[in-house]
């Protein structure tokens, strides 16, 4: 099964040279410095708390939502002359250059505003904006009810297409910031954050990861806004957003159950009643399902054509694991006489199901603790998985590499959830810094503890305060790899003159 990973941002090396008048904007210097940090250099203006406090919001309140299904509106953006066609026309007109307009490659001050204004709005206001105001989100996919080959055969083009929508919204957000239309930019970011949440709410890991990608693009847009001249302070707007915006808990729980959902022998074998021949046939079928790629990729597999291959595979794994399986079943408390009377396929199914459940339960535990403790548990689980594969050193090793192949993606998914939350909380810290500067004669605090105007959020990856220090007239906020996340960043903030 493919492992879906969030793609890293593509960034252009830029050096910020301070002229006589410092421009307010964010510059991403992502050739990475000597310590492998992504460095975001921001020149910002002090910004006090807005009046009223929630003048700007990034989510709608319950009474502001309307009846309807958001997905129905989103799908209308993909009509015959819809968003994909608009992207095609933009690329034909401007080439690959257009791809840099929605990302961080080009600073706001260098955006080709005239060209961007010629590009259609992609149906954002006609279709996506109304969808973002709906109470309900239903993608029409009962993924939880799928079993066997249906799980692998399921295609999700509508989810992948949401990336195009998110990029289109991002492009117009950056255009609005460049033209100092901050209210429009904030509304576009509200729409994009809702799109991310709606995309990620399905209990499917790939949906969550696409949602995180859209959230990441939008958070980059928020950085551009924060760094724009005289931009409003977004501390409370960011604080009001749901946290986490996208939760992977249900998707992870469903992913951990993929073994019994795909393989009949793992689905409570103790409740199944079969003859000797049927147990052995189930074993052979599931072995063939795991090791025959064409069967995995076909919605209507021709099992008959693979009988010989399945028989050989099933027999080989049975010979390798049968004696061990019987011994472990007895050690788990099964009656020795009952184990001896089991069909070979039945004993193998009982054992494989028991090992899989131990692996899945061990991995699920880490989802219910904070990230720091989850990392400690994940390290132990990684060691366990290395020994739990076929022919591994563990007594409770798998006969078939089902859990050890399908489950490691869980750890990466949890990290993605924490990473996106960490990025949003870092923005709240930056806005707290701007608020402090507005109330203290345009000066940075010596430490985050010195900020008293608003609570300063902790780093969700560590549960501790973010790393912060002053370097001459620059406030430095650090998100290190020691947080347990692969991407490390350093925000360097200067005050505009």
Judging by DSSP bridges, how do beta strands 489-495 and 38-44 pair with one another? parallel
CA distance 100 to 15: 18
Q: Tell me what pLDDT residue 301 has.
A: 52
Q: Tell me what pLDDT residue 441 has.
A: 96
The answer to whether 256 and 262 are in contact (CB under 8 A) is no
pTM for the predicted model, two decimal places: 0.89
SS3 43: strand
Both structure tokens of 209: 């990861």
Q: Tell me what pLDDT residue 43 has.
A: 95
Both structure tokens of 240: 């009001």
Query: pLDDT (tens digit, 9 = 90+) per residue, 439-487?
Result: 999 999 999 999 999 999 999 999 999 999 999 999 999 999 887 888 8
Q: Tell me what pLDDT residue 20 has.
A: 31
**Cis omega (within 30 of 0) for bond into 244:** yes
The answer to whether 269 and 346 are in contact (CB under 8 A) is yes
Please report, for the chain, the start and end positions of each structural domain, with discontinuous segments joined by +.
Answer: 25-253+412-495, 264-401
Q: Tell me what pLDDT residue 485 has.
A: 87
Both structure tokens of 162: 């949401």
Q: Tell me what pLDDT residue 269 has.
A: 96
CA distance 85 to 71: 19
Distant-in-sequence, close-in-space partners of 60: CB < 8 Å, separation ≥ 6: 132, 133, 190, 194
Residue with tokens 């810290």: 429
Closest CA to 33 of 494, 467, 491: 491
SS3 332: coil
From residue 236, how far is each of 185, 214, 427 by CA, in Å? 16, 21, 11
In order, the DSSP letters of 270-296 are: GG----HHHHHHHHHHHHHHHH-HHHH
Measured distance between the N- and C-terminal CA atoms of the chain, rounded to whole angstroms: 54
Distant-in-sequence, close-in-space partners of 350: CB < 8 Å, separation ≥ 6: 269, 270, 325, 329, 334, 342
CA distance 474 to 206: 39
The answer to whether 435 and 449 are in contact (CB under 8 A) is no
Q: Tell me what pLDDT residue 79 has.
A: 81
Helix (H) or strand (E) holding 255: helix 249-256
Q: Tell me what pLDDT residue 266 has.
A: 95
Burial profile 100-129: b = 16 or more Cβ within 10 angstroms, e = fewer: ebbbbbbbbeebbeeebeebebbbbeebbb
Radius of gyration of the chain (CA): 27
Distant-in-sequence, close-in-space partners of 361: CB < 8 Å, separation ≥ 6: none
Q: Tell me what pLDDT residue 153 has.
A: 78
Distant-in-sequence, close-in-space partners of 339: CB < 8 Å, separation ≥ 6: 326, 329, 330, 347
What counts of helices (H) and strands (E) characterise the chain? 19, 7
CA distance 321 to 338: 18
Q: How many residues does the chain have?
A: 497
CA atoms within 13 A on the CB side of 67: 0
Q: Tell me what pLDDT residue 308 has.
A: 61
CA distance 47 to 440: 11
Across 76-159, the runs of DSSP E, i.e. the strands, are 134-136
Residues of the chain with pLDDT under 50: 1-22, 296-297, 299, 303
């Amino acid at each position: 099964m493919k492992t879906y990973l969030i793609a890293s941002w593509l960034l252009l090396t830029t050096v910020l040279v301070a002229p006589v008048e410092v421009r307010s904007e964010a510059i991403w210097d992502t050739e990475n410095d000597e310590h492998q940090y992504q460095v975001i250099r921001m020149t910002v203006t002090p910004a006090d708390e807005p009046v009223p406090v929630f003048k700007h919001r990034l989510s709608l309140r319950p009474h502001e939502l309307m009846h309807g299904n958001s997905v129905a509106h989103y799908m209308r953006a993909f009509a015959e002359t819809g968003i994909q066609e608009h992207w095609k026309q933009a690329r034909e007109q401007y080439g690959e250059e257009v791809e840099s307009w929605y990302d961080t490659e080009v600073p706001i001050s260098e955006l080709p505003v005239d060209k961007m204004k010629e590009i259609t709005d992609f149906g954002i206001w006609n279709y996506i904006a109304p969808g973002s105001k709906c109470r309900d989100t239903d993608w029409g996919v009962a993924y939880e009810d799928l079993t066997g080959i249906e799980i692998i055969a399921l295609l999700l083009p509508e989810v992948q297409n949401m990336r195009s929508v998110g990029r289109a919204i991002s492009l117009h957000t950056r255009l609005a910031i460049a033209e100092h239309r901050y209210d429009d930019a904030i509304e576009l970011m509200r729409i994009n954050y809702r799109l991310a949440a709606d995309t990620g709410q399905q209990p499917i890991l790939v949906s969550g990861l696409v949602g995180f990608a859209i959230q990441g693009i939008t958070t980059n847009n928020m950085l551009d806004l924060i760094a724009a001249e005289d931009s409003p302070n977004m501390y409370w707007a960011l604080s009001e957003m749901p946290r986490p915006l996208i939760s992977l808990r249900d998707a992870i729980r469903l992913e951990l159950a993929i073994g019994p959902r795909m393989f009949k022998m793992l689905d409570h074998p103790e409740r199944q009643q079969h003859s000797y021949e049927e147990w052995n046939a189930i074993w052979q079928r599931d072995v063939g399902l795991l090791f025959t790629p064409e069967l995995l990729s076909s919605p209507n597999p021709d099992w008959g054509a693979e009988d010989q291959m399945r028989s050989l595979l099933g027999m080989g794994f049975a010979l390798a694991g049968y004696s061990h399986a019987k011994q472990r079943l007895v050690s788990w408390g099964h009656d020795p006489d009952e184990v001896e009377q089991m069909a070979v396929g039945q004993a193998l199914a009982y054992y494989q199901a028991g090992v899989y459940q131990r692996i899945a339960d061990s991995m699920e535990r880490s989802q219910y603790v904070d990230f720091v403790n989850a990392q400690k548990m994940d390290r132990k689980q990684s060691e366990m998985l290395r020994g739990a594969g076929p022919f591994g050193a563990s007594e409770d090793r798998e006969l078939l590499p089902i859990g050890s192949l399908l489950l490691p993606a869980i750890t990466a998914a949890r990290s993605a959830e924490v990473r996106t939350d960490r990025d949003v909380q870092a923005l709240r810290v930056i806005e707290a810094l701007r608020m402090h500067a507005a109330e203290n004669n345009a000066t940075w605090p010596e430490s985050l503890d010195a900020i008293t105007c608003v609570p300063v959020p902790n780093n969700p990856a560590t549960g501790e305060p973010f790393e912060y220090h002053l370097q001459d007239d620059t406030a430095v906020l650090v998100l290190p790899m020691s947080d347990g996340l692969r991407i490390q960043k350093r925000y360097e903030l200067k005050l505009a003159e």
